[in-house]
Amino acid sequence: MPDTILAATAPGAAIAVAAAITTELVAEIRDRHDLWPTASAAVGRLTTGAVLFAATNLKGNERISLQIAGNGPLGTVAADSWLLDERTIAARGYARNAQVELPIDARGKFNVAGAIGEGSLHVTRSSEGGQPYVGVVPLASGEIAEDLAHYLGQSEQTPSVVALGVLANPDGIVAAGGILAQVLPGAGEAALLALERRALAMPPVTQLIAEGADAAALLRALTGEEELRSYRSIDVRFACRCSRAKVESVLLGLGAEELLALTRERELTEAVCEYCKTRYAFTSEELQQLLERN
């Protein structure tokens, strides 16, 4: 099924909820980076979280960036998401070390927490020409969904429940998706407790998706018979913000002396985008012309 987000409110339960299917998105990232299963689960969860944040928080040309700086074997894990237009969200993600695989944990799940280790979660909201807002919190568990819920509660004072899942095997991504539910402003503690009970009673999101659930079914799995209003459907797809012009700008930032050294040391200079793995090649003549133009 196509990757989609559905967002709605359930006034009777005093919550706003968004559910995402991201199987194709995570598969694209997995293939581009040759992620091993545990790494796929970590990057897929964080990228799905970024997509859900974008669907519930962003406007216009804003962008949300999530970065986990952990001391585990994955190293840095990062994801970006932004609005391509009113009906489409784009996202990308990567792990510093893609070939990470740990034994399944005692619950029979990917040991994402072990692959991430201890560290911090950085959340950056930015827009073109605007001052970025950056929030940083210590990792609560390394399980990513819990860390994102912890961030929302601590930094944005928004009681939330986040469920994220990636079902992967050595051949690829079987299912990926997630749910982000937030208590509406003015709701009391009873609304949060009821939301947490609903979330605990839900089957894992990957189980539901693997059994054929779409985004609407994920919403219903959490909200039950509650009346849903303000439905909004958003397509999700992989995209990258890199370009040859941006790479040229980075090269120029090295300084004239460093660029001249590159033209003397090698015939071809390559730069690789860490998000999409696109290679940008520059001959020594092209670097010289770049210097002369600037």
Spatial distance between the Cα atoms of 265 and 284, rounded to a whole number of angstroms: 9
Say whether both 207 and 271 belong to one domain: no
The pLDDT assigned to 71 comes to 97
Nearest alpha carbon to residue 181 among 197, 160, 157 = 160
Residue 254 has pLDDT above 90, yes or no: no
Say whether both 196 and 275 belong to one domain: no
Maximal CA-CA distance, the chain:
69
pTM: 0.94
pLDDT level of residue 124 (50, 70, 90 thresholds): very high
pLDDT level of residue 261 (50, 70, 90 thresholds): confident
CA-based torsion, 270, 253, 127, 70: positive or negative: positive
Q: Angle 85-88-89 (CA atoms, 0-180°, nearest 5)?
A: 105
DSSP 3-state assignment of 119?
strand
Residue 280 has pLDDT above 80, yes or no: yes
Task: Find the CATH number of the domain harbouring 253.
Answer: 3.90.1280.10
Residue 253 has pLDDT above 90, yes or no: no
Say whether both 181 and 138 belong to one domain: yes
Decide: 263 and 287 in contact? Cβ < 8 Å: yes
The structural domain count of the chain equals 2
Say whether both 261 and 230 belong to one domain: no
Residue 53 phi, psi dihedral angles, 5° rounding: -60, -45
Say whether both 261 and 141 belong to one domain: no
Say whether both 59 and 191 belong to one domain: yes
pLDDT tens sequence across 28-64: 999 999 999 999 999 999 999 999 999 988 877 889 9
Taking the mean position of all CA atoms in its chain, how far away is CA 203? Answer: 22
Say whether both 226 and 271 belong to one domain: no
Going along 75-195, which residue ranges are E strands? 76-85, 88-95, 119-127, 133-138, 160-169, 172-183
Residue ending a domain, among 218, 238, 258, is 238
Average pLDDT over residues 239-265: 89
Average pLDDT over residues 101-119: 91
What lies within 8 Å, CB to CB, of 110 at 6+ separation is 37, 38, 41, 42, 102, 104, 166, 168
Spatial distance between the Cα atoms of 44 and 24, rounded to a whole number of angstroms: 10
Residue 88 has pLDDT above 80, yes or no: yes
Say whether both 137 and 248 belong to one domain: no
Say whether both 193 and 282 belong to one domain: no
Task: Find the CATH number of the domain harbouring 109.
Answer: 3.55.30.10
Residue 127 has pLDDT above 90, yes or no: no
Average pLDDT over residues 240-246: 94
- Domain extent, residue 193, equals 4-238
pLDDT level of residue 258 (50, 70, 90 thresholds): confident
Nearest alpha carbon to residue 46 among 71, 74, 73 = 74
Say whether both 227 and 108 belong to one domain: yes
